[in-house]
């Protein structure tokens, strides 16, 4: 796994730019709105038309600076699908929810148990692809973090006001989101789910952004996500922050808890984005028979929820009075029933007042953005649309 490579496909103003460490990104020169947004989309190499559908529809909005399209080729084990059988996926599912972990931390038991059912996966020929995709968010965020740090170190680069993280069939109504974000201070460390899934508070303080509905991080949250952290004897190396700021304390204390086995992959000086990447790489699915530790037993959006909540990427919610709940739910949430944007599944349910929709085909993205253009023609510059 090349730990220094960038996401495979970077699109700038609708044109592919294949980035590498020796090539500078294009200098942003577009006439943006007041808000600057980068977007990273997680998909698969067998349906790149979905990513291109996003690039040529909502990502043509004037606020979008860079669009990163990733696939399994960006993962630590890019041939994961080819190396797994359907039986392997069933065995991994059984391991993740098996009796061996009933004595584990209650939080871990609660998170692991619904991972999947082995018998169900045995009947699903797409099981290997489904299983391997769980790591894609972690690897994509790891690569993006390295890209940002490199560009910041070389100067003449600023982080975006917001980062959009989504699957390849996510559609954003950009004018509505642009308006929504006008009241959000990007300097604050905030995380907003397009649709927040809340688990029963009586069981566990855990929430995560439903992957298909997107996830938004502010600049303040991105800064935390990509900041190198030193713990213990090396804490004095935390440049400009020391060992006593809340974020450093949050990261180092969470590493000691090691709730999902992430500390096995930790190396001092990593950022949280680095840790997400390394954690997913540390437990290869094709070597599941040799796992003697927790393994990697989280869906991709669970991974985002875990690290943002438990590693202090966002700001705690006062109404839960707990620092492990750090994701906003203003756009929609699922608990006993779906609210807000959580109901926007498919083109038929993607109305003009929506902020985000999921399971949208590329042709539907084109249809939807054309409707938006009639109302907001100035939001999509000709050179980008």
pLDDT, tens digit (0-9, with 9 covering 90-100), for 75-94: 888 888 889 888 888 888 88
For residue 279, pLDDT beyond 50: yes
Return the SS3 of 120: helix
Q: How many CB atoms lie within 10 A of CB 105?
A: 14
Residues 6+ apart with CB under 8 A from 361: 50, 53, 169, 347
Q: Are strands 171-172 and 196-198 parallel, antiparallel or unpaired?
A: unpaired
| Selection from 279, 317, 318 nearest residue 300 by Cα | 279
Query: Do the Cβ atoms of 213 and 338 come closer than 8 Å?
Result: no
So what's the pLDDT on residue 240? 62
By the 10 Å C-beta count (0-12 exposed, 13-18 middle, 19+ buried), 153 is classed as: exposed
For residue 319, pLDDT beyond 80: no
> Nearest 5°: phi and psi at 163?
-115, 125
pTM over 0.85: yes
pLDDT, tens digit (0-9, with 9 covering 90-100), for 132-143: 888 999 999 999
Q: How far apart are CA 277 and CA 147, in angstroms?
A: 13
Q: What is the DSSP letter of 191?
A: E
Q: How far apart are CA 344 and CA 143, in angstroms?
A: 30
Q: Which two tokens stand for residue 184?
A: 């959000």
Q: How many CB atoms lie within 10 A of CB 109?
A: 15
For residue 338, pLDDT beyond 90: no
So what's the pLDDT on residue 251? 93
Of 5-19, 111-125, 166-180, 320-334, give the range with the top mean pLDDT: 166-180
Query: Do the Cβ atoms of 167 and 42 come closer than 8 Å?
Result: yes
Q: Which two tokens stand for residue 336?
A: 């006993």
Lowest-confidence segment of 9-18, 129-138, 239-248, 276-285 by average pLDDT: 9-18
């Amino acid at each position: 796994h090349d730990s220094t490579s960038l996401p495979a496909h970077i699109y700038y103003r609708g044109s592919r730019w294949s980035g590498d460490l020796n090539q500078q990104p294009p200098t942003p020169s577009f006439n943006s709105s007041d808000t600057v947004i980068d977007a990273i989309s997680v998909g698969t190499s067998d349906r790149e038309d979905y990513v291109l559908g996003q690039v040529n529809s909502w990502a043509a909005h004037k606020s979008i600076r860079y669009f990163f399209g990733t696939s399994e080729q960006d993962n630590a084990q890019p041939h994961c699908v080819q190396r797994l059988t359907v039986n392997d996926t069933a065995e991994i599912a059984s391991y993740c929810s098996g009796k061996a972990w009933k004595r584990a931390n209650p939080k871990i038991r609660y998170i692991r148990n619904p991972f999947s059912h082995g018998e169900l996966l045995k009947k699903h020929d797409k099981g290997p692809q489904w299983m391997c995709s769980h790591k894609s968010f972690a690897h994509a965020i790891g690569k993006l973090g390295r890209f940002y740090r490199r560009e910041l170190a070389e100067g003449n680069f600023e982080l975006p006001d917001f980062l959009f993280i989504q699957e390849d069939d996510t559609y954003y109504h950009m004018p509505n989101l642009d308006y929504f974000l006008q009241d959000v201070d990007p300097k604050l460390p905030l995380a907003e789910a397009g649709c927040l899934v809340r688990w029963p508070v009586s069981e566990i303080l855990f929430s995560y952004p439903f992957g298909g509905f997107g996830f938004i991080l502010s600049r303040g949250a991105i800064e935390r996500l990509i900041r190198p952290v030193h713990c213990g004897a090396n804490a004095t190396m935390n440049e400009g922050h020391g060992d006593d700021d809340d974020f450093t304390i949050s990261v180092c204390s969470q590493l000691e808890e090691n709730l999902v086995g992430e500390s096995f992959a930790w190396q001092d000086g990593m950022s949280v984005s680095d840790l997400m990447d390394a954690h997913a790489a540390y437990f290869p699915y094709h070597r599941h028979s040799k796992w003697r530790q927790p393994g990697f037993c989280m869906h991709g959006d669970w991974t985002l929820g875990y690290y943002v909540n438990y590693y202090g990427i966002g700001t705690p919610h006062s109404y839960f009075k707990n620092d492990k709940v750090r994701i906003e739910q203003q756009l929609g949430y699922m608990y006993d029933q779906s609210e807000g944007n959580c109901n926007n599944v498919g083109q038929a349910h993607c109305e003009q007042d929506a902020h985000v929709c999921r399971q949208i085909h590329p042709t539907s993205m084109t249809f939807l953005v054309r409707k938006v253009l009639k109302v907001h023609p100035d939001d999509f510059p000709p050179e980008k649309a």
